[in-house]
Amino acid sequence: MEKALFESEKNYESLFNNTQVGLFRATISDGKLIECSRLLATMLGYKSRTECIKDYILDEHYLDQDTKKKYLEKMNKKGGVDNFETEITRNDGTPLWVNLSARILPEKDFIEGAIIDITDHKKSQEILKTLQISLRAEKHKIEKVLSIDQKMSSILDLNHLVDFVIKKSTEILISEKCSLMLLDEDSKELVIKGSIGLDENVIKETRLKYGEGISGRVAVEGSPLLVTNIENDIKYSRKSQPQYKTKSFMIAPIKVHGKLVGVVNVTDKKPMINKRVQFNEIDLKILCSIVRQASIAIENANYYRHLEFLSTSDSITDLFNHRYFIKRLDHEMHRLNRYKRPLSLLMFDIDNFKAYNDSYGHLEGDRLLKEFGTVFKKELRSVDIVCRYAGDEFVAILPETNSREAQVVGEKIIKATKSLKTKSKISLSVGVAECSGNITSRRDLIMRADQALYKAKKEGKNRVCKLTE
């Protein structure tokens, strides 16, 4: 009989300690463990059952009092709980997700129950949840890409198109910084045509030759680039720069019939669920899809611009005419009001041109106008818009330029005109105006530049003047 009882107890102990469920018995009054299985002790982070039994399970292992309160309310109301999921803490303070089932034995002042470790299950659920959110986001991105195709192809103004591509790229790819660089055919440099999130000095000063910088290398190689972490990237490894919030970025080349026309740079992906994330292969495919659409739209815009140039250019100087000047100035002032960037206007007048024309004839006068037009195009940037205003007057719209910088440009142009071969001494007067302060309309800006030009004439010609505020 004793042997049978011993065997029974031994079998019970083996079952108790070797089951894959953590078993316990605790007092109702204070939650002190009276008995626990070996698995529960291990689960809670103890080296032995003896060490674990010293504990007060309700006080030591709950992360918050609200959960403990809910648990006890259910226990008291129903006499037990089934499949109660909660997060508790191990002995070392690390979190542990468990599924708890327990019963109250009031006559013995006991709570008996079983605990299953569901931490891995919870982690899998979180991963699945994050993946589902990510998939929904990617689906939304793709739908947006498809929806912008028709709109993009209908934009025929290159500046409008650049703004649209940048805006949609940042929206769809959920990024904080984006720039579109176009190739300057004359200098063979990449210049920033438009951007979001970049410093003004960076916009004005960045000019990359083929192979220079990462964007320049992408331009040479002609393939899109995804970098998840710049600091450990095999090809481009370097210290992350302070102006960027993340170490991940993408660059895609813009090609028209196989010829490079520019690149799009996307950086600083916005956080998801308060956590910074990297760009991934899906993001790169989406960027490439946007860029493919953009390349077709850029080709259309360039073709339209060529046709428009034929109808908006001056036949003598090959500069834009007065009609185009008015249209572009309105556009640039709209951009100024939207993005709060500087904008200046230069107004030029060839000194004593009427006398020169009368002395040497209209053919020589036209040749001189053409020579001045060539100087303007050579000395101004590709983003500047220079036009023949009327007679011997010219104007230049200078985006991203304040009046001080515009004055320097004017002085540089005056210096360049001194090397022109003319039949008699000729000079240039320049008026400068910046769209700021009380200047709120196109008319105000033109009038301000004209007044500054008049001042230059009055003070002796052959100089640059701007009005004081």
Q: Which residues are catalytic?
A: 392
Residue with tokens 């493919």, as numbered in its chain:
292
Spatial contact of 256 and 291, defined as CB atoms under 8 Å apart: no
Taking alpha carbons only, the member of 64, 67, 100 closest to residue 81 is 100
Q: What are phi and psi of 242, to 5 degrees?
A: -65, -25
CA torsion, ordered 123, 125, 129, 135, to nearest 10 deg: 100
Which string of b and e fits 57-70 if b means at least 16 CB within 10 Å?
A: bbeebbeeeeebee
Q: Give long-range contacts, CB 8 A cutoff, 24+ apart: 354-361.
A: 354/392, 356/422, 356/423, 356/424, 356/426, 359/423, 359/424, 360/423, 360/424
Q: What are phi and psi of 192, to 5 degrees?
A: -75, 115
Neighbours of 337 (CB within 10 A): 12
Q: How many CA atoms lie within 13 Å of 62's alpha carbon, on the beta-carbon side?
A: 16
Spatial contact of 360 and 354, defined as CB atoms under 8 Å apart: no
DSSP 79-94: SEEEEEEEEEE-TTS-
Q: How many CA atoms lie within 13 Å of 435's alpha carbon, on the beta-carbon side?
A: 26
Residue with tokens 């674990």, as numbered in its chain:
52
Distance CA 49, CA 43 (A): 11
The pair of structure tokens assigned to 257 is 């019939």
Q: What are phi and psi of 431, to 5 degrees?
A: -110, 140
> Cα–Cα distances in Å, from 122 out to 95, 132, 236?
12, 15, 38
SS3 content of the chain, % helix, strand, coil (to 5): 45, 25, 25
